[in-house]
Structure 1
Amino acid sequence: NQLGNLLHGEEQFVSADAGYQGAPQREELAEVDVDWLIAERPGKVRTLKQHPRKNKTAINIEYMKASIRARVEHPFRIIKRQFGFVKARYKGLLKNDNQLAMLFTLANLFRADQMIRQWERSH
């Protein structure tokens, strides 16, 4: 698990999918002082939705967690679908790092272009 290597110590919260459920209890992450926004497992969310009135707050919290994660996941969709980068090939660490930096820069430009076009249509 590389989660401990990804944290730099200045985080206020950590948002993760259901695969990281046990992360706050891990020995190396015990002293990390952050708010853990880890999604519930899909089966648990399904059982919450069986009684929507009783579990309204819990369901809303899960939707909030998902919306935060979705903002991070959209650039990956652009890189994979628009630019076709679905497999990483090892060309050397520096070349791979430069390629990923360029792809995320292009994804940001792609997203900015989408927002500009949407704004022009609405005005």
Structure 2
Amino acid sequence: MRIYFLQQWFGLSDPAVEEALYDTPLLARFVGLDLGVDVVPDESTILRFRHLLEQHGLSARILETVNRILTERGLMLKSGTIVDATLIAAPSSTKNASGQRDPEMHQTKKGNQWYFGMKAHVGVDAETGLVHTVVATAANVSDVTQAHRLLHGQETDVFADAGYQGVDKRAENQGKQVAWHVAMRGRASAGHWTRALFLAR
């Protein structure tokens, strides 16, 4: 479980986190491994454990539990949320058991480049930068259509990049008591919002 947390915190793949446990004694100590005595789980073992969590829908429950603990300890203020989305590329090859592409994956264009895969829509606490909500969709799903799913309901302000223009006029967001702060096209990204908020503190 602690290895899984390291993967999420540092964006490490299965082989990368195995290597990190060998290379960084501090990470091995956090996981509870004594490199002189214990066997480090290999990337296949880490992969199987991660898939087990996903199959039983436990990843979302773990995130909810962590966020509840952080909130109880006053480490997540929940007064503002930054929403953003990122593409997750997947192999476009059809060389699998069924000879077909994964039906949950789709193609989309960003700028002048085409991508095939999924999209992670993320809600982040504006004060601490901690993720409180993650929604996965096909890559061709528009960012603005998922904004309402990224709110926890207690925020007063929501910050977003230009891809979310018109979000406050969408039916699913009518009646929400939040102030939407959406960047003008070509001006700022959600990452810029994060930096601006930290500079303002």
TM-score in terms of structure 1 length: 0.36
Task: Name the structure with the higher helix share.
Answer: 1
Which fold has the larger relative contact order, with Cα–Cα distance below 8 Å and residues 6 or more apart in sequence? 1
The structure with the greater share of residues assigned to strand is 2
